[in-house]
Amino acid sequence: MRPLFVLVAAGLVGLLGYLFLWPVPVRPVAWIAPQNLGYIGEFQANDRLAKLEFIELDGRSGPEDADVGPDGLIYLAMHGGEILRIGNDGSVTSFAQTNGRPLGIEFGADGTLFVADAYLGLLAIDRDGRVTLLANETRDGSPIRYANDLDIATDGKIYFSDASTRFGAQENGGTLAASILDLVEHSANARVLKYDPSSKTTTVFAEGLTFANGVVVNEANDALLVVETGEYRVWHFPLDGSQGKVILANIPGFPDNLNHASDGTFWLGVVSPRNAIMDRLSGSPFLRRVVMRLPESIKPKPTRYGFILRFDDKGNVVESLQDPTGDFALTTGAVTLPDGGIAVTSLTEPRLGLLK
């Protein structure tokens, strides 16, 4: 029995040593997660997103963002680097290939498609599908490691999020893996950048955010709304550089993309419900390091739940559409279509959701 006891004890010591001491890539910072009130009030649970119709994407997956082109067709940013075009008959064709991971897309006034590519930086795609790199570093030489979402002001300046300066998407196993590392660490290293096409320079517009995500210029063209995924909230930053403020807080999930709705309001995707374990561990950097040492099979993961919402420029939620069954899940956002319906996008789905 003694050799068996020694063997078990040694194994236990080894396991504890691994859980407590094995190096991990994150340096967690203590913070206090706001109390999650859940799906009540303006976020009241419903099944309004369970009525989607679908366009299958011919074996591709991950339609992260969408926009309507000058031709009235839907364009999608896909997991494999493609920009897809959806015909009026539902046909799917390849418009361009970035050879990266396109996330946010937005058409400019001249028909150029601008792309925040998580692997490559800020891109421009002309009407013939030719891709041009606009920026992969700031004016001071700081690399853009996780370009995420973008919007264009009326003066042509492009505002886009750099979701993590610590965990680049390409070198950390992709966008989802890198985002998990950044959210677990919670070191508020993200920023919003501004690209000036006249000088071809990129400067920092806002910084000190925890996983900056969706961005959109408001209807008055005097402020930028920015999603801070790691803090479950949306900021309002005046474009003149004055102090920003939070207008929508304590969202019961991880907010993602922002897009204009048709009436001056904004669509926001909520990719997954909040994780109760990680919220409870927000004040314990040590235990969050332990979580990172767990086997992948038991680490906290995103929960399948469909959720988009619409809010105004004061942060008032005016519409909430959900699918608790998670049939169409990891919802990143929504885009208003010419016929008044919406296209619903996803981080992982092999199809595009349509709601009339």
Residues 79-100 have a mean pLDDT of 97
Residues 159-182 have a mean pLDDT of 97
Nearest Cα neighbor of 210 from 65, 28, 63 is 28
Q: Are 189 and 178 within 8 A, CB to CB? A: no
Instruction: Using the predicted structure, report yes or no on whether residue 77 has a pLDDT greater than 90.
Output: yes
What local confidence, expressed as pLDDT, does residue 13 receive? 43
- Global confidence as pTM: 0.94
What local confidence, expressed as pLDDT, does residue 164 receive? 99
Q: Are 321 and 355 within 8 A, CB to CB? A: yes
Residues 259-286 have a mean pLDDT of 97
Note the pLDDT tens digit of each residue in 175-196: 999 999 999 999 999 999 999 9
Domain that holds residue 133: 2-355
**Count of alpha carbons within 13 Å of 308, Cβ hemisphere only?**
30
Provide the mean pLDDT of the chain.
94
| Residue 15 pLDDT level (bands cut at 50, 70, 90) | very low
What local confidence, expressed as pLDDT, does residue 239 receive? 98
Instruction: Using the predicted structure, report yes or no on whether residue 83 has a pLDDT greater than 90.
Output: yes
Instruction: Using the predicted structure, report yes or no on whether residue 4 has a pLDDT greater than 90.
Output: no
What local confidence, expressed as pLDDT, does residue 7 receive? 47
Note the pLDDT tens digit of each residue in 117-149: 999 999 999 999 999 999 999 999 999 999 999
Note the pLDDT tens digit of each residue in 325-334: 999 999 999 9
Residues 88-106 have a mean pLDDT of 98
**Count of alpha carbons within 13 Å of 82, Cβ hemisphere only?**
16
User: Could you tell me which residues come within 8 angstroms of residue 115 by beta carbon, excluding any fewer than 6 positions away?
Assistant: 77, 83, 98, 102, 103, 104, 105, 122, 123, 124, 125, 150
Lateral strand order in the sheet of 245-248: 212-217, 223-228, 233-238, 245-248
% the chain with pLDDT above 90: 91
User: Could you tell me which residues come within 8 angstroms of residue 35 by beta carbon, excluding any fewer than 6 positions away?
Assistant: 250
Total domains, the chain:
1
Query: How far apart, in Å, are the Cα atoms of 141 and each of 25, 202, 207, 212, 304?
Result: 24, 10, 16, 20, 39
Specify the CATH number for the domain of residue 330: 2.120.10.30
Query: How far apart, in Å, are the Cα atoms of 281 and each of 25, 114, 252, 297?
Result: 18, 38, 17, 19
Collapsed DSSP state (helix, strand, coil) of residue 299: coil
Q: Which residues pair with 226 in a beta bridge?
A: 215, 235
% the chain with pLDDT above 70: 94
Note the pLDDT tens digit of each residue in 49-61: 999 999 999 999 9
Note the pLDDT tens digit of each residue in 23-46: 789 999 999 999 999 999 999 999
The DSSP code sequence of 119-141 is TTEEEEE-TT--EEEEESB-TTS
Note the helical H segments in the chain: 2-21, 175-185, 276-280, 285-292
What local confidence, expressed as pLDDT, does residue 24 receive? 84
| Residue 10 pLDDT level (bands cut at 50, 70, 90) | very low
Note the pLDDT tens digit of each residue in 189-243: 999 999 999 999 999 999 999 999 999 999 999 999 999 999 999 999 999 999 9
What local confidence, expressed as pLDDT, does residue 16 receive? 42
Residues 275-281 have a mean pLDDT of 96
